[in-house]
Structure 1
Amino acid sequence: MAKKGVRFPEKERDYEAEDRQRVQEDMDSLFAVPLAILPLETKGLKRARMVKNVKLQSAIEVFSDRETGSGQLDVEDLPAEFDWPEDKTHPDLIIMRKLAVLQSYDIYSLRITLREHGIPVNEDVALKLSDEKQAELAGYMRSFTMPLIMQIYGTDDMSIKSFSDVVGLFKDPDVRKAREKLQQMAEKLDIDIMEVPKFLEDYGDIFLSLSYYRNSMDNIMPIVNEFLDSMEGIRSNWQLRNDPALMKTCTMVENTINETCASISGRFETFNKASKNMWKNLNAERFRQVKGMIESYHTVIGGILCGLTVKMIHWKRLFPDPDLGGPVRRSEFIMSEMKQGIDRMRDLERAQPMGAVLNIDED
């Protein structure tokens, strides 16, 4: 990682025109957060982002492209970079230090940990996924939204086919028809009709978060399997198999990845079981219980998936094809990059193991 001497571009850029798309892409990311969302005093910082590098360390990325690579700064290099006064701690440095300890930069973990660490966001910033990302997750969301629709409307109402149709009731020009529908929903959920909008907002958001994490897991698993398959080539190499340090590291990395992937999958199964129990007789209180359980594990799931994603992205970038690279190069990467910080994923999982499945009694 680059230290001192990495300079921010001096030429002013039209942030609105040039960086808007990248900022939104970062909002969809597990491992990058655009600093533009924070109320920072230093203008140059607002064009950068905080990332998790391959060693799972937090760094401020000044620039990144395929030709020049990634220009990164350590948080503690910022005072010298910006000539901040030495006699007091700059307010931006306080924020950066707090941001650096976060385990994941996905929006769901950010919501929780930014609040816990007292890190504010700009008033005009909404921590939410892009419309494009939400559209990508539509298939995952369907398994969570259709049971709600069936519970409330059953199979007879063909006008309600999607969750967006339910939300769209609030914009229905036929006020009488919309109110009847919303009253039906309120009675089914055992809440006041004025509480329905908040319920739908929370319902959509919590299951969108679960869809986001499952999608992230599904996207990275093919690379994880490629990586694990490559272990056999390293262990069967006559030169490498006699290196005890390498063999020990390979086993540690392999076990950590297997254990954390199994843990995440187990958590998803637990959430699904609790959700199915909830849907058997849905009401607002049962949903709040499931919502609380899922939210309590956001930072663990986000942290593990962030670490796993970063490691696998770098692996795939170096070894885009299973037949490229050879066991020696792969072993060098494992010893120099892959093992660094991977213990954080294991520690996250062990610090908050999955408890018993939420017990929702059936009436």
Structure 2
Amino acid sequence: MSTEAIDTEGYSAEDKDALHILPLAIIPLHTPGMRRTRLVKNARLDTVVELFKDNRAGSGQIDIRALGDYFDTSAPSFEEDRTIVEVLSQEPSFDVYSLRLALRSHNIKVDEAQHLRLSPQTQEKLTEYMRVFTRPLIQKVFGSDTKDVSSATEIFEMFRGVDRDVALKRIRSISDALGIEVDQIPGFLEDYGDIFLSLSYFKRTLEEIRPTFERFKAWTDEGIRNSHLRHNKDAMRYTEIVDAQMEEAIAFTMLRFKAFDEASAEFWKDLSEYRYAHLRRLVTSNHRTIGGILCALSVKMIRWQEDFPGESGSPNKRADWLLAEMVPGLDKIRHIQRTAPTVTPI
């Protein structure tokens, strides 16, 4: 495995929080040694099994179909474990939210509270993003002049400093509108918070990708568009293809976020059980789409930064790399966009 800090479960917080890495330690596999590996997305956006990774030897990767060459095929659990790995390898993203949906759909039991949650470190970084989604809830219960909070736990804590009768009256109005009992409100808060924690995570990921992509475009401009390669039709065509597809994927994702924000605003404007069901369905049905696109964009930008850490390279080297590492896999991004669920207003 990598040289980064590993916890007692055999994987790092960075692994668990990544979109392009799946530490198989979180999956209930039983074939000896298999849980010590990772599934990773390579530069072509194909899923491979990473047997090891360190600073000197690099990354030891094998094709999913080669599992039988490295693990004991006579083990009673091998065929079942291989099937699980093959199923998970088809996911376009390994973010914890998409994984939950994938594992549930295939009846694979995992302790979600332990393994399929963002690390506390990452959740802390998402505080500001979460306030956008928790603010309407706080205002409904505690009034418009209350402070911003970003988690269900903080909401519960606020009860200690306000008029409980007023707050409970407002909570009853929310429970009536949602068609649930008052004692089900904590479950609603947890569900609501979890849904929008996933959106906050995706938004933060996109905001990290965008400036990196702008630097990448400047790098291609300098090395291809503004060099002798501007007369090379193939180099120019590949550059245009990469830039256009990446920009389209970013714009597509931003439009989905806009739809989520609008649906959330409509929900809090006129609370109802139907509106919450629509909002929840809208977000969860797009987890796989958003996760897949952001995973692909992340992989491409990470690979560029790894291969050109100083953002240098001759024009010919940049053009060759662009064709070899950036163009392959773009069809997978287009496929995710084409097969994305339709966004319908309430």
For this structure pair, what is the TM-score category when the shorter chain's length is used for normalisation? 0.7 to 0.9
Does 2:274 match 1:288? no
Percent identical: 37
Taking a change above 3 Å as real, the CA distance of residues 270 and 286 of structure 1, as seen in their structure-2 partners, is same
* Matches of 2:221 and 2:57, distance apart in 1: 33
Q: 1:166 aligns with which of 149, 155, 162?
A: 155
Does 2:174 match 1:188? yes
Residue 13 (structure 1) aligns with: none
Which amino acid in the other structure matches residue 187 of structure 1? S
Residue 53 (structure 2) aligns with: 64
Give the alignment's Cα RMSD to 1 decimal.
2.9
Structure 1 length-normalised TM: 0.84
Alignment length (residue pairs): 339
Cα deviation code 1:303-337 (max 9, x no counterpart): 00000000100101222334x22322221211111
Q: 1:229 aligns with which of 209, 218, 226?
A: 218
SS where residue 90 of structure 1 aligns? helix
Cα deviation code 1:53-79 (max 9, x no counterpart): 111111111222233211112111111
Q: 1:213 aligns with which of 202, 220, 233?
A: 202
* Matches of 1:58 and 1:131, distance apart in 2: 27
Q: 1:132 aligns with which of 101, 121, 138?
A: 121
Deviation at 1:353, TM superposition (A): 5.8
Taking a change above 3 Å as real, the CA distance of residues 122 and 188 of structure 1, as seen in their structure-2 partners, is closer
Q: Which moved more, 1:282-291 or 1:48-57?
A: 282-291
* Matches of 1:88 and 1:262, distance apart in 2: 44
SS where residue 19 of structure 2 aligns? coil
Residue 42 (structure 1) aligns with: 31
SS where residue 320 of structure 1 aligns? coil
Deviation at 1:51, TM superposition (A): 0.8
Q: 2:322 aligns with which of 328, 334, 339?
A: 334
Kept after mapping to 1: 8 A contact 2:285/2:341: no
Kept after mapping to 1: 8 A contact 2:73/2:79: yes
Q: Which runs of 5+ in 2 are unaligned?
A: none
Taking a change above 3 Å as real, the CA distance of residues 86 and 197 of structure 1, as seen in their structure-2 partners, is closer
Deviation at 1:22, TM superposition (A): 3.5
Deviation at 1:131, TM superposition (A): 1.1
Cα deviation code 1:209-253 (max 9, x no counterpart): 110000000011111111122232313322x33443333222221
SS where residue 40 of structure 2 aligns? strand
* Matches of 2:315 and 2:225, distance apart in 1: 9
Kept after mapping to 2: 8 A contact 1:149/1:162: no
* Matches of 1:17 and 1:326, distance apart in 2: 38
* Matches of 1:247 and 1:162, distance apart in 2: 46
SS where residue 255 of structure 1 aligns? helix
Residue 302 (structure 1) aligns with: 291
Q: Which moved more, 1:339-348 or 1:208-217?
A: 339-348
Structure 2 length-normalised TM: 0.88
Taking a change above 3 Å as real, the CA distance of residues 304 and 168 of structure 1, as seen in their structure-2 partners, is same
Residue 88 (structure 2) aligns with: 99
SS where residue 33 of structure 2 aligns? helix
Taking a change above 3 Å as real, the CA distance of residues 143 and 244 of structure 1, as seen in their structure-2 partners, is same
Residue 255 (structure 1) aligns with: 244
Kept after mapping to 2: 8 A contact 1:84/1:90: yes
Deviation at 1:345, TM superposition (A): 0.7
